[in-house]
Each structure stands twice: as structure tokens, then as C-alpha cells.
Structure 1
Amino acid sequence: MSPNNPTTASNPNGLSQRPLPPDQISPKAVVLKVMQLKNVARRNWKLLVIFLAIGAGIGFIYDLMNKKPAVYSADILFNLGGGGGASGGLGELGALAGAFGIGQGTPDANIFVGDNFLIYAKSRPVLEKTLMKNDTINGKDTMLVNYYIRHSGIRDKEWEKSDTLRSFYFSRIKKPSEYTKLEQIAMSDICTRIATEMSVTQPERKSSFMELRCAMEDEMLAATFLTSHLETIEEDYRQKQTKKSREMYDLLKDRADSIARVMNRTDSRLAQYIDQNQQIVVAQGKVTETKLQRNSSFLSTLYYQALQSADNMRLSMIREAPLFTIIKGVYYPLYKDVPSTLGVQAGIALALVLAVIVIFLRETYRSVMQEK
């Protein structure tokens, strides 16, 4: 066999050895590659460490400049039970209304049913009623809207570029009709922000339970706002749900008061007439006395009937009033969600990629120079 034949080679034992196929790698080649990589790492480890340190430092500075505050989540699970005035209560209203010539109409759509309630609970009028309340926070009587301005982060985000709004506070509790232009702008921004921080959901479609949840940057703010907002919803719900009954009750109360005034005047006239005519024997005088007694007795009957109707209406209002049952309230400590910082990780990853590229170019240049 010719020694110049490229397809064969002789080993020390005189045996021919075939070369490996192109798609296979010998263990010797693997070991050599590993030794080369080890040598490359030994020559360039300082460069790699410098790149990683620079990348981690840049990422750390980025995290500090873009650090996001922790968010505290609070939730309340409750059941909204409707009053009993939808059927029986309206029948009693109709019976009482008949005495005053008032007809019974078709009830309006209920805004507290289904998806209507989900929209209603986040609406601006209800949010304003909650914010315009005094609450005891950290032992101090504080307007909730001013506490929100101080601790929600709105001054550092939405109002960052407005010096006027950054120093703004509400002076006292007001109705929306009393707001100044600046107060209207501030309240609009606050309600818009709260609408993104709060949610009202129904955990199970087949259940009547509702869940009110909010996530804010201050633990006390999140818990206090959520509790106060549920109280506001209950109060507003109660007023709207019993509006007709309250109007009827006020009407019956006014009627009873007017009858009482007329009855008192009649009783006074009767007593005065009896005092002045104790010895009267004329029939005409007896007729007048009998007439006054009859009027007094009739007015007394009407008065007690009016009082009974008012009491019945008050019981009807109690039956119609909604029942809010809190299944799970707010418990401390609230769940704290700390936003993850990815600047250091991203800086290290980018630095590693750049270091590998630089080392590759450096080793390539070194290899070329050695060949020359």
C-alpha cells in the first residue's frame, strides 16, 4: 500500500486505520476542543467579568430609576339580597295608594341586578360619595379623598407635570354641584384612576355572591376605601330601593300630623265650650256640644288610622330594604405584590452576549496573527 494514499494510515502495530466519517467526531477532537475553550476562558476571564459587572451595574441603575411601588390588594366577598317589596310590598303600596287616588304603575328596571350592578358600583357618582366621607385612619379623622391624594401615587404620576394639582387638597366635604373647576378636574382624575384600581366581579355565575376588589399603593388606603365604598353602595342602594315607600311614608306622616293639628283644635274648642256652658239647658247648645264631640271622635279615629298606616309603611320599608351580608371582609396584612425588577437580569444577559462576541473577535484576530 502506498504511504501517500490519503484513505489509509498506519499505526505503530502496522495496522491500517480508516479515517472517521465527516458526520462523526472523535473523543480526541472533543477533548481538544474543551482544552481550547478552557484556554480561551483562562485568557479572557477578566474581560468577561468586566462586561458582566458593567451590565449588572447598568441594569441596577435602571431598576432604581424605574422602580415601581408595591401594590396592596384588598377584597370583600358579600351577598346582595333584595328586599321583599318587589311583590308583596308593592301590593301593600297599592292598597295604601288607593286611599289617596294614586294608581299603581309598572316598576322600573332595577339597576342593582346583574351587570347593571357591576357598572353602578364603579360609577363616578358612587365613587364621589365614598371619597367625600370622613373616616378614622391611623387614629385621625381624615377626609378619604385627601388621604387618597397623599398616598395613592396620583401626584407622582397623573399630576407630575402640574404644580397646581400636586399641591391641591379639598377644603371640606362638598356636593358635586359645589365643586370649583379645579376640584372638578381633580375629582375626574381621581375617579378615572380608581376605576382602573377597582373591580366588581361575580366569582361564580350560579352564585349570588359578589366580590369587590381593589389594588392600591397604600395598605391602609386600600382597606379603608374598600370598606367605605361598600357602605356607600349599601346606603345608596337602600335609598333608591325604598324611594317609593319613603315618599308614601312621608305623605302618611304629613297626613297624620295635619289630622292631629285639626283634632287638637277641635278638642280645645270642645273643652272651652263645655267650660263656658256647664249649666246650659237650651237644646241648641246641646246640639253644638254634640257636634263638637262627634268631630273630635271622628278626627281621633282618622288620626289613629293614619298612624297605623304610617307604621305599616315603615314595616314595608324594612322589608324592601336590601340586605348586604359580608361573607369575607378585609383581613390584615393585605396581599403585597412587589413588581419584579428585570434590569439587572437583562443587563447581565446583554453583557454576556457582548462579551462572547468580543472574545470571539479577539481570539479570531489572535489566531490570524499567529498564522502570519
Structure 2
Amino acid sequence: MGAILGLGYSFYKKPVYNATCTFVLEESGKGGGIGQYAGLASLAGISIGGGGGGGIFEGDNIIELYKSRIMIEKTLLRTLTIKGKNISLIERYIADKHLRKRWKKEHIDSVSFNSSPETFTRLQDSIITDLVTAFNKRNLNVSKPDKKLNIIKVEFLDEDELFAKEFTLGLVENVNNFYIQTKTKKAYQDVLILQKQADSVKNVLNLSISGVAAATDASPNANPTLLSLKVPSQKKQIDVQANSSIYGEIVKNLEISKISLRQEMPLIQVIDKPILPLDKNYIGKIKAIILGGLIGFFLAILILSVNKLFMSSAATNK
């Protein structure tokens, strides 16, 4: 009987697919050729080699980032194209797990996740929170196989093979993009500020050059004995020299800031990514029969022992 039940269970139980992605985070080197510019850059208010915001990713913090609600939610709202139809990962998960049938009893089966997360209702946020909790407990596993290395392993288990693959790839992409943006945020802002200053000073410099030409054209054949006629042109030339000097320094600092941005940019190299068909965990028919038979055998012994003990107790009472 136990063997039959075990065989039936092997047919009923769906295989669980394992989507695994491993990658290495290589921090950018500090110092080197950029060190000689650090003093000059500091005069312009630029921090080189130390302001990347990487502290939040030290230790196991990046692992917790993978388990965070914002990253899982963003991944669930990712859209796929399957057989010519667009569908979000969360909608595919809901359909695969037949959640709307359960929600029908509570009259919430019409809930949709096609709108922006900023407009989600309390019910929508509650459903996503439940999914995040369930994923972190049963489906998602993020770890560092070797504490000495910067290799991170992301695993996701699910009965839907395509969902497991796409969710893993989407989660890794979202977290890594967030990592790069945070790591380079300050250096990128420095580049934008200096670029804006350079463009502004360049416009002023162009106007000053045009002013020199206009002042010269105003007195093309000036009397050399009348020095006052040269004053407007000389003033414009001073403006050109001053603006040229300022523009040169800003451009120099801009290039240093760009070097800093490149220095802060981390290298993220994917080692392995999930490829169909995924590895799957399932109970084979022979294994199920053996396990079912063993469980049935021990249950039979237990029942017989309890029955014998009960009959002995009843006979003693008589």
C-alpha cells in the first residue's frame, strides 16, 4: 500500500527547478596614476578614489539587498514576451499557482499589477509583501560560497522553469544596476557639475572673443596717439585671458573627474547564468516506491504494535 501511495505521489508532485547565477564583483583599484591629481582635484571640491558609496555593499549587506522588497518587487513587475504576448512575472506566478481561485473566495481575484508601483493600493502592496516573504523563506537563496572571494551565488527554486530562470536573471540585473549607480553616484554628479560649468564658461569666453573683435572693428584705423580708443579692446582682451584661464582649469578638473568616475566603476562579470533546461529536483518512481514501501512498512509495524499493546491492556483489565 505504501509503495502504491509513493508511486502516486511521484506522479502528483511537480519537479522543482533550480535557476542559479554566479558572478564576481571586482572593486576598482585605488591610487595608481590618478594619485598625482588628487591634490589638484581637491581644490575643485572633487574627491578621487574614496567617495563611491561602496560601504553599503561591504560584508553581507549586498546579500541582504538581494532579499529586499524593492528589488524583488521590481523584478516581479518585469515584463516578458511569451508566445507573442506580454506578461509580467508576477502575473505569470499568480496564474501558475492558481492564486486567483483562492482569492475568489475573498472577492479580490480581480486585482491587477499593470499600473505603476507608486499607485498601488494597500491590497496590492500586501500581496507583494506576502510574495517577498514567501520567496525569502522557500525560494530564494543568496550566498557567498567562499568568504575570501567576491563571488556571489544566487539561486531560485520554483516549479515553473521559465519563471525561475527569468526571475533570477531579472533580480541579478536589477541589483547589479543599483550597485553600479550607487557606487558611481557621487563621481557622476561631479562630472555633470563640472560639465555644466565648462559649458557656461565657454559661452562667456566666446562672447568675450566676439567683444574683442567688435571693439577692434569700432576703431579700425585708430590714431595711435589717442590711447583712450584702445581701452575698450584691451578690456575685452583681459576678459578673454581671464576666461581662457578659468576654462582651462575647469576642463582639467573635468577630465580628472571623468578619470575618477572610471575608477569608481566596478567590474561585474557573470560566471554562470541559468540556461534552459534547468536542473530539477524530483522524486523518481523507483525511489518513490521504495520510500513509500519503507514508510508503509514502519507504519504497519507501529499500528500492529499499538494494537497489540491495546489488546494486552484490555486482556489485563478483564
Look up the SS of the partner of 1:84 in the other structure. coil
Report the Cα distance in structure 2 between the residues aligned to 1:76 and 1:105, rounded to whole angstroms. Answer: 30
* Identity across the alignment (%): 26
The aligned counterpart of 2:129 is 188
Look up the SS of the partner of 2:21 in the other structure. strand
Report the Cα distance in structure 1 between the residues aligned to 2:281 and 2:47, rounded to whole angstroms. Answer: 57
The aligned counterpart of 1:315 is 259
Matches within 5 A, 1:88-167: 95-100=40-45, 110-137=55-82, 140-151=85-96, 153=97, 155=99, 161-164=105-108, 166-167=109-110
1:237, distance to aligned residue in structure 2 (A): 0.6
- The answer to which of 88-97 and 258-267 deviates more is 88-97
Look up the SS of the partner of 1:110 in the other structure. helix
Report the Cα distance in structure 2 between the residues aligned to 1:308 and 1:178, rounded to whole angstroms. Answer: 45
Report the Cα distance in structure 2 between the residues aligned to 1:75 and 1:272, rounded to whole angstroms. Answer: 69
The aligned counterpart of 2:311 is none
The answer to whether the 8 Å contact 2:17/2:280 transfers is yes
Aligned partner letter, 1:231: E
**Unaligned segments of structure 2, at least 5 residues:** 309-318
Gap change, CA 1:235 and 1:347, over 3 Å in 2: closer
Report the Cα distance in structure 1 between the residues aligned to 2:173 and 2:143, rounded to whole angstroms. Answer: 17
The aligned counterpart of 1:326 is 270
Output one character per residue of 1:36-93: Cα deviation in whole Å (capped at 9) or x when no partner.
Answer: xxxxxxxxxxxxxxxx5xx888x489859x9443211011121111123589879856
1:97, distance to aligned residue in structure 2 (A): 3.6
For residue 165 of structure 2, the aligned residue among 209, 218, 223 is 223
The answer to whether the 8 Å contact 2:80/2:86 transfers is yes
The aligned counterpart of 2:20 is 75
For residue 112 of structure 2, the aligned residue among 138, 152, 169 is 169
Matches within 5 A, 1:1-372: 59=5, 63=9, 67-85=12-30, 95-100=40-45, 110-137=55-82, 140-151=85-96, 153=97, 155=99, 161-164=105-108, 166-172=109-115, 174-175=116-117, 177-196=118-137, 197-281=139-223, 282-338=226-282, 345=293, 349=297
The answer to whether the 8 Å contact 1:77/1:329 transfers is yes
The answer to whether the 8 Å contact 1:94/1:104 transfers is no
The answer to whether the 8 Å contact 2:49/2:264 transfers is no
Output one character per residue of 1:289-335: Cα deviation in whole Å (capped at 9) or x when no partner.
Answer: 12212212331332243233223212221221111111222222101
Output one character per residue of 1:14-47: Cα deviation in whole Å (capped at 9) or x when no partner.
Answer: xxxxxxxxxxxxxxxxxxxxxxxxxxxxxxxxxx
Gap change, CA 1:310 and 1:145, over 3 Å in 2: farther
Gap change, CA 1:187 and 1:95, over 3 Å in 2: farther
Look up the SS of the partner of 1:293 in the other structure. helix
- The answer to which of 81-90 and 343-352 deviates more is 343-352
1:241, distance to aligned residue in structure 2 (A): 0.9
1:240, distance to aligned residue in structure 2 (A): 1.0
Look up the SS of the partner of 2:250 in the other structure. helix
The answer to whether the 8 Å contact 1:111/1:120 transfers is no
Aligned partner letter, 1:284: S
Aligned residues: 299
Report the Cα distance in structure 1 between the residues aligned to 2:110 and 2:232, rounded to whole angstroms. Answer: 77
Aligned partner letter, 1:286: K
Report the Cα distance in structure 2 between the residues aligned to 1:135 and 1:284, rounded to whole angstroms. Answer: 75
Look up the SS of the partner of 1:206 in the other structure. coil
Gap change, CA 1:355 and 1:317, over 3 Å in 2: closer
1:238, distance to aligned residue in structure 2 (A): 0.7
Q: TM-score, normalised by structure 2?
A: 0.76
Report the Cα distance in structure 2 between the residues aligned to 1:351 and 1:108, rounded to whole angstroms. Answer: 60
Larger Rg: 1
Report the Cα distance in structure 2 between the residues aligned to 1:188 and 1:345, rounded to whole angstroms. Answer: 41
Report the Cα distance in structure 1 between the residues aligned to 2:49 and 2:282, rounded to whole angstroms. Answer: 57
- The answer to which of 74-83 and 297-306 deviates more is 297-306
